[in-house]
């Protein structure tokens, strides 16, 4: 594994575990054009994560002095980690015991492939929680991975892992056809009913890990 990728992998797994990657991809399989819509969402989700990650890598390159571990990188990890912990705790406090489906879930019932791509971009690049994790991964890669080629490889690996779960539903549908819909529907219902708790746990755990890593490297 490339040096520095291990820490970024933690952030990638956090994005990968997000219900916002899986639930829309499943819902789009129940539209009039299931495979193109779900795959389009996955493509938009991938592009959004890649864009934020690359920007963070480039910013880290501009601010990093060669052969010196920058203090700003440690403080950035701490700041992002604290922000994630606070976001997770706030989400847990605001959780509802019987949450209603959010409005975006209802809008996806009539989504076209083009709208699915836009939705994937918005729910990744414009989602503060996802963008924070992608930025954390990009900063880690830019600060610790040496060489432009290795940075590109690390950023690509990060994005593939982070976005992978958005493509699982459409892959199951392509392999199993209509038989995949029943288990996917059950998975969607489970995630939807626990979406606040799942996201809270993911954010707090990853926030603590990032803050601890940043503090330990000062």
Q: CA 60: distance to chain centroid?
A: 20
Q: Is the pLDDT higher at 159 or at 212?
A: 159
pLDDT in tens, 1-36: 455 566 688 788 888 877 788 889 998 998 889 999
> Alpha helix (H) ranges present in the chain?
5-16, 19-27, 34-63, 71-93, 103-107, 113-125, 128-144, 148-163, 168-176, 181-193, 195-216
Specify the pLDDT at position 213: 75
Q: Where are the domains of the chain?
A: 5-216
pLDDT at residue 192 tops 80? no
Range of lowest pLDDT (31-45, 97-111, 178-192): 97-111
Give residue 158's pLDDT band: very low, low, confident or very high (50, 70, 90): very high
Burial tier of 182 (Cβ tally within 10 Å: 0-12, 13-18, 19+): exposed
Give residue 196's pLDDT band: very low, low, confident or very high (50, 70, 90): confident
How many Å is the maximal CA-CA distance in the chain? Answer: 55
């Amino acid at each position: 594994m490339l040096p520095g990728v291990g820490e970024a992998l933690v952030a990638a797994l956090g994005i990968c575990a997000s219900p916002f990657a899986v639930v829309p991809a499943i819902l789009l399989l129940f539209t009039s054009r299931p495979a193109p819509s779900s795959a389009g969402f996955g493509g938009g989700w991938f592009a959004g994560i890649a864009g934020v990650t690359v920007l963070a890598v480039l910013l880290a390159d501009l601010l990093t002095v060669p052969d010196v571990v920058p203090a700003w990188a440690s403080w950035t990890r701490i700041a992002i980690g604290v922000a994630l912990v606070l976001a997770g705790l706030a989400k847990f406090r605001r959780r509802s015991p019987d949450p209603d489906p959010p409005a975006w879930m209802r809008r996806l019932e009539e989504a076209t492939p083009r709208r699915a791509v836009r939705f994937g971009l918005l729910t990744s690049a414009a989602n503060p929680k996802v963008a924070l994790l992608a930025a954390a991964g990009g900063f880690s890669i830019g600060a610790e991975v040496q060489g432009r080629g290795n940075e590109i490889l690390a950023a690509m690996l990060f994005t593939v892992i982070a976005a992978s779960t958005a493509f699982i539903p459409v892959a199951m549908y392509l392999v199993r056809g209509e038989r995949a819909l029943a288990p996917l529907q059950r998975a969607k219902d489970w995630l939807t009913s626990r979406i606040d708790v799942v996201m809270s746990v993911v954010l707090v755990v990853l926030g603590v890990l990032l803050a601890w890593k940043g503090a330990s490297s000062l």
